[in-house]
Chains A and B, each alone.
Chain A
Amino acid sequence: EVQLVESGGGLVQPGRSLRLSCAASGFTFDDYAMHWVRQAPGKGLEWVSGISWNSGSIGYADSVKGRFTISRDNAKNSLYLQMNSLRAEDTALYYCAKVSSVIAVAGQFDYWGQGTLVTVSS
């Protein structure tokens, strides 16, 4: 059974940093690209960042470019999101999601985690 479990969320002051993790199991992690998607309270889905299976291709939404860094450790079956210079508008539930197709860096997401909540407030 595929499982994606996010952690690392919490309350943080504006300008500070936070690192999210996503622990994957139930599939061959290093065959698949992984992505982060967020959802602000009462709002829609926003793609944040994605990384290919071998970390060779990485992309970011304009809203986080230069502040967030995605990475992965295939030996640990884990995905990460380093979030720096956090702003109030980064407050959201952060999901990690798995691309459906082997090797493809972009594609539909067939599995999602339950999300970890990040609240940026003083």
Chain B
Amino acid sequence: DIQMTQSPSSLSASVGDRVTITCRASQGISNYLAWYQQKPGKVPKLLIYAASTLQSGVPSRFSGSGSGTDFTLTISSLQPEDVATYYCQKYNSAPLSLTFGGGTKVEIK
């Protein structure tokens, strides 16, 4: 089974900082990768899919990149409302297995 490893597990940054979260797959997954944001007590929200496509309605300060095994989620200018835990997820259909990364908790310094 393909494993998804996120780093760091948590980070603290200042408002306006550029924040980068990394997700690594144990095998190549092409661009079958999504990123979700989960605020405390809330349901996960889709941010990015196909590694770099921004979901409708998501602020443009969020961006994704990567292909194969290494992926990144970038917040270009961290805002207070971005405090959340972020998860990557790979989705391949053969075999059907949609694994999440362990999550990255983002806080404001």
- Interface positions of A (Cβ within 8 A of B): 35, 37, 44-47, 50, 57-59, 61-62, 95, 100, 104-110, 112-115
Contacts and interface: CB of A to CB of B under 8 A. Distances in A.
Contacts of A114: 43
Contact of B97 (A59, A112, A113): A59
B108 interface: no
Contact of B93 (A46, A106, A108, A110): A106
Nearest to A35: B98
A47 B89 contact: yes
A107 to B, nearest CB: 5
Contact of B46 (A44, A45, A104, A110): A110
Given A37-B44, A44-B102, A45-B100, 18 more contacts: A44-B85, A44-B87, A45-B38, A45-B44, A46-B100, A59-B95, A59-B96, A59-B98, A95-B43, A104-B93, A105-B96, A108-B34, A108-B91, A109-B36, A109-B44, A109-B46, A110-B46, A110-B55
